[in-house]
Chains A and B, each alone.
Chain A
Amino acid sequence: MIGAGGSPLRYLEFGDIVIYFSPYTLALFLLALVFTVLVIASKPERQLDIAFGADAFTTKDIGLSEMRFRRFMAIACGLASMGAMVTGDVFDFCLFTSLVGICNVGIVAAVKSRHVQGAAFQYGLVALAGTVPLFGGAAIVAATTGTLSLIELSSTLLPAVPLVVKGFLVLGVMGEGMAPFYAAKAEMFRAPGAPYVIMCSLSSLLIFLRVIEVVLQM
């Protein structure tokens, strides 16, 4: 098959779920891999509060257990986005995407700041509501075409997937990752700890890039 992201270079079979590496998915996979390695290797940065009008600043003190928990969540988020980049099954893609969503919530939920927690809660609600169009869309794909495999879906023999169902999938991914609405994520970025918070936006960018390929394939 020649999909939207070029013809696959390599397949990895897990029963009915076949993972494939096409030039497009491979590039996204490597990006996620490099960033996950960076998160594992790098030391967290401290947030500085600069006092206006005076030559003074304070460093926010963050507990070790909080940092360890957030690093764990960031690594899990990196692994989840790696999975979402290469999976070749619509439902499996939806599951990986919701995993990315809950990991994003976890990265910021551990922060002891009321403002950040409020943002994390609202964002978590959207991520949870996002699973409805996501799983619903995948289920309608299965009913209209009789398959969930992207490799089968790229063949022209199957009935076409309705346009609104593709919209469901894209809307669901937008809910999980907030991909085009970075303004909405600004509150979450108040959370200290440089490499971990950036994992949130990178993972949502990656899943948004991938869902475009998924939708074009159908």
Chain B
Amino acid sequence: MIIQRISRFISNFENLMPIFAAACAVLAGIAILSLPFVYTEDQLYPKNIDRESPLDPYDRGGPPFTQADIVLQYPENSPTAGFVTAYLTPFSWALANTTLHTGTTIVGHPGGILDEILYNTRGLDTVVETTILFIAFAIASYIFRKGSP
């Protein structure tokens, strides 16, 4: 009997979201009760901040076209990892030499540690991520166009 009622409740798709959200809330509550978690100190791609550098929060490499030293999971799989980290476009190189505040602009330009991770060492993540974007746009534009013949 009880199984029948449960199955009737979850077969109504309006109730799906409340059930799932409640399960998530309960699990997050359990996670809070089981704190503290261990934090491993030797992480991959560690962050170090040098306030004197013009590339302040993202200064990870030497001059462009040298190989920077970065901590990655499998160095033998990416023999050229570190070149992209050290690379600066001519524009951002000029900016870094004239001002102390190039800072986060490096994220907008090709080169830097984030491009190294996103394109090179964890490139497959980015490929899957753009595929998700692509599929979502395909759904949205198909439905949009179907609405206006």
Chains A and B touch (C-beta atoms under 8 A apart): yes
| Residue pair B17, A126 in contact (C-beta under 8 Å) | yes
Bound-state Cα–Cα, A72 to B135, Å: 10
Interface mask (B38-68 → A, CB under 8 Å = 1, otherwise 0) = 1111111000000000000000000000000
Q: Which residues of A contact B31 (CB under 8 A)?
A: 162, 164-165, 168
CB atoms of B132 and A110 under 8 A apart = no
Given A145-B40, A164-B31, decide whether A18 and B139 contact each other with a Cβ distance below 8 A. Answer: no
Given A15-B78, A140-B37, A168-B27, CB of A129 within 8 Å of CB of B123: no
A196 within 8 A of B: no
Q: How many residues of A contact B (CB 8 A)?
A: 63
Stretch at the interface among B18-26, B94-102, B107-115: B18-26
| Cβ–Cβ contact A102 & B136, under 8 A | yes
Residues of B within 8 A of A (CB): 7, 10-11, 13-14, 16-17, 20-21, 23-24, 27-28, 30-31, 34, 37-44, 72-74, 77-78, 81, 120-125, 128-129, 131-132, 135-136, 138-139, 142-143, 146
Chain A residues in contact with chain B, CB under 8 A? 13-18, 69, 72-73, 76, 80, 83, 87, 89, 91-92, 95-96, 98-99, 102-103, 105-106, 109-110, 112, 118-119, 122-123, 125-126, 129-130, 132-133, 140, 142-149, 152, 158-159, 162-165, 167-168, 171, 174-175, 181, 183-184, 186-187
Beyond contacts A122-B13, A164-B30: 18 other A-B pairs, Cβ-Cβ < 8 A, are A14-B123, A15-B123, A16-B73, A92-B128, A95-B129, A95-B132, A98-B132, A102-B136, A106-B135, A109-B139, A126-B17, A129-B24, A146-B41, A148-B73, A149-B74, A164-B34, A175-B20, A183-B10
